[in-house]
Chain A
Amino acid sequence: MSEPAGVVSKSVASSQRGLWFRLGPLWSLVSLLAIVYFVTLIISFLGDSVQVQLQYALVSLIIVVALQMFIGTSGVLSFGHVAFVAVGAWTVGLLTIDPELKRNLLPDLFPFLFDLNAPWLVAVVIGGVVGGLLALVVSPVLMRLNGLQAGIATFALLGVVNQVLTYWSSVGPRSGQSMVGIPDVLNLQTTMLFAMAAIVAAWLFQRTRPSRLLRAAREDGIAAASSGINVVSQRIIVFAVSGIVAGVAGGLFALTNRVVQSSQLNIELTFVTLAMLVLGGMLSLSGAVVGTLVFSLVDVLLVRLQNGLEIGAYVVSVPQGARAIILGLILVGMLLFRPSGLTGGREFVWPFRKERPLPGMPPTNES
C-alpha cells in the first residue's frame, strides 16, 4: 500500500523527530536559493556574454519551476506551458512598448491597445495574471485527461495559441514579423530575484492542500479518488497557479530578449525546458533548479569550448555544432541510465542526519 504521502505521516513524524525534521524542508529551500545566488555571483565575474546567457538561464529556470509545479505534482505530462509563457511575453510586449512606436510598428492592433501602457513591473504581473487566466479557462477541458492523451491535448493547446499569436495581427505583429522596442530595464540581479521568488512560491505551494492532495493522487489515483479527493478540481488549481508562474516567466523573457516573436515561443522552447526538468528530476523542486542550472552551465561551457578555451598553454575546443549534440546525448543518457534525474526526485535534505524522505516526498525512483 502506498500511503497518502505526507498527509498522515507528518504529525506523527514531526513530534518524534523534533526540530531537525521541521527545519528539513526549510533547508531544501535555503540551499536552493543559495545555489541560485552563488551561481549568479560567480557567473557575473565571467564577462558580458556569459551574463546574458545566465539571464536567459534564470528565465528558463522560472519556466521549469512552473513545469515542475504542475508535472511534478500531478504526474501528468504538459507540453502546453510554453503557451502561457507566450501570452505572458505578448502581454508585457504590448504594455511596455512606447505607444508612439506601437502605432507605427503594429498598425493592426485593436485601437484600445494603442494607449494601454504600464510600468514594466506591473506589466510582468499582468502577464502572470493573463497566463494564469488562460490556464484556468482551458483547464476544465484538459485536466480530465491522463498520460499520452494529456500530452497530446496540451500540445494541441500550444499549437492553437502559437498560431493565433502568429497570425492574429489585432493583438500583435503581422505574421512573420516580431514585436520590437521593448525597453531595456531588466538586469541580471533583478532576474535572479524573480527566479528566487519563483522558487519560494513553488516551495510554499508544495505545502498547500491542493499540492499535497495531488501528489497523493499522483502516487495512486484510485486510492486518492476513493479517499474523496476530486482529482480534476485539484489539478485545475495547480495548473492555473503554474500558469501564473509561466506567464511571469514569459514577461521576463520578453524583457530579456527585447524582441518577441511567436516562433521563439514554440516547440523548441518546450523541449528544452522539459529536457532541463527531466535532467534534474521531475518530482522535486530541487530537480527543477539543479536540472536547469546544470544544463545551462554545460551549455555555457560548450559555447566557450566551441570558440576555443585556453587552459594554460593548451587550447581546448570542440567542433561547431557539437554543443547541441552533447546536450542531446546528456539528455538521452540521463533517461537511459538515471530516469529519475540527477536529484532522483528528492529534495535536498540536511546532510548531517540519517536519510529520511521529507513529508510529501515519497522515495520514489520512478513514477
Chain B
Amino acid sequence: MTGQLIQSLVDALSAGATLGLAALSIGLVFGVIRLANFAQAEIITASAYCLIFTWELGWFIAVPLSIIVAVAMSLLMEFAVFSRMRSANPATLLIASFGLSFLLQRVYELMFSNNVRTAPVASGLAQTVEFAGVRIQLLSVATIVIAGLVLLGLHLFLTRTSMGLQLKAAAADFRTARLVGIPAGRVIALSFALSGILAAAVAFVLTVQSGAVGPTFGVQITILALVGAVIGGIDKISGSLAGGFLVGFVTSMLATWLPQEMSNFKDAYVFVLVIGVLLFRPSGLLIKGRGVART
C-alpha cells in the first residue's frame, strides 16, 4: 500500500512537472504580450518529430537539434504572425493561435502523414527500477530531474542576468517596463525563445514516454497546460507554473486512485474543479484579490 502510494506520488509529481513546464511556456509569453499561444502544441510536436527522426544519429545531435527547432519555430511564429497583431485583444489572439495551430497540424499531416512515426528515443529511461520495495519508473524520476534543472536554469536566468530581469519586468508590467527603457522587441523575442526551450523539454519527456509522434502530438498537453495556466494565474509566471503542476498532479492522482468505472470521467472532474476555481478566483489561485479584469 505504501509502495503503491509512493509510486503514484512519483508518477503524479512527474505528470505535474511536465504540465507545469508546458503551462510555464504559455505563461511566459502571455505575461509579456497577452497572447495565450495555443500553437505551442505545434512547437512541441515539431520538436518531438525532430527527436524521432534524428535519434539514430545519437542523443548529442538529436537533443540540441530538437531545442533549436523548437526555438526557431517559436521565433518564427512571433515574427510571421503575432508581431503583426500587437493591438489585438487576448481573445482574438487566442483564436489566431488556434488558427495557426490548425494550419500547422495540417502541414504536418501533409509532410509526415497521419500515421504516427516511431523511434526508441532514450529507451533506457523507459524501464522500472526497484528501490526499497517500491517499483518506480525511471522516466518519472528523470522527468522530475529535468524539470527541476530547467526551472533552476530559468530561475537563475531571470534573477541573475540583466536580460532576465528585463524580461521579468516586462512580464510584470509591459508598459511601465517600456517607459523605463527596456527594449520591447528584444524582450518579446526572448520570451518566445525561452518558451521554445521549455517546449523542447516537454517534447523530450513526452516522446520518451510514448515513442510515437503524430500530427496532433502536442495538443492534449497544451489544452491542459492552458487550463492550468489560467487557473494558476496566467498573469504571473509562478502562477502558470503552479497551476499547470496542480492540474497534472490531480489528473494523475485521480487516474490512479479512482475506481475503474469512475476513472473514465477523470478529466470531467478536473474540468469541474477548474470551473469552480475560476468562479472563486477568476484571476487565478496565486493572484491575490480579484485582480484587474482584463477583457
Given that A163-B265, A331-B103 are contacting pairs, would A321 and B85 also be in contact in the complex, using a CB cutoff of 8 Å? no
Place the interface of chain A in its size category.
35 or more
Q: Which residues of B contact A152 (CB under 8 A)?
A: 226-227, 230-231, 274, 278
For chain B residues 78-120, which have a beta carbon within 8 Å of chain A?
Answer: 81, 84-85, 87-92, 94-96, 98-100, 102-104, 106-107, 109-110
For chain A residues 121-170, which have a beta carbon within 8 Å of chain B?
Answer: 141-142, 144-149, 151-153, 155-157, 159-160, 163-164, 166-167
B266 to chain A, nearest CB (A): 9
A273 to chain B, nearest CB (A): 12
B272 touches A147 (CB 8 A): no
Q: Which residues of B contact A144 (CB under 8 A)?
A: 279, 282
Given that A163-B265, A331-B99 are contacting pairs, would A367 and B89 also be in contact in the complex, using a CB cutoff of 8 Å? yes
Closest to A329 in B: B103
Report whether over half of chain B's contact residues are helix, strand or loop; otherwise say mixed: helix
Place the interface of chain B in its size category.
35 or more
**B264 interface hit (Cβ, 8 Å):** yes
**A52 interface hit (Cβ, 8 Å):** no
Segment of A14-22, A196-204, A332-340, A356-364 engaged in the interface with chain B: A332-340
**A285 interface hit (Cβ, 8 Å):** no
A332 touches B96 (CB 8 A): yes
Closest to B284 in A: A149
Choose among A77, A271, A321 the residue that contacts B109 (Cβ–Cβ < 8 A): A321
Instruction: Scan A151-195; emit 1 where CB is below 8 A from any B CB, else 0.
Output: 111011101100110110000000100000000000000000000
B282 touches A151 (CB 8 A): no
Choose among A77, A319, A324, A335 the residue that contacts B96 (Cβ–Cβ < 8 A): A335
Q: What's the Cα separation between A274 and B294 when bound, in Å?
A: 22
A325 touches B271 (CB 8 A): no
B98 to chain A, nearest CB (A): 6
B271 touches A159 (CB 8 A): yes
For chain B residues 171-200, which have a beta carbon within 8 Å of chain A?
Answer: none
Closest to B90 in A: A148
| Known contacts A77-B91, A163-B271; 7 further A-B pairs (Cβ under 8 A) | A148-B90, A163-B268, A167-B264, A267-B223, A335-B96, A336-B96, A366-B87
Q: Chain B residues in contact with chain A, CB under 8 A?
A: 36, 81, 84-85, 87-92, 94-96, 98-100, 102-104, 106-107, 109-110, 223, 226-227, 230-231, 234, 264-265, 267-268, 271-272, 274-275, 278-279, 282-283, 293-295
The 6 closest A-B pairs by CB, nearest first: A328-B103, A156-B271, A324-B106, A167-B264, A331-B99, A146-B295
List, sorted by A's number, 10 A–B pairs whose CB atoms are closer than 8 Å.
A147-B294, A148-B94, A148-B294, A155-B223, A157-B271, A160-B268, A163-B267, A163-B268, A322-B110, A367-B89
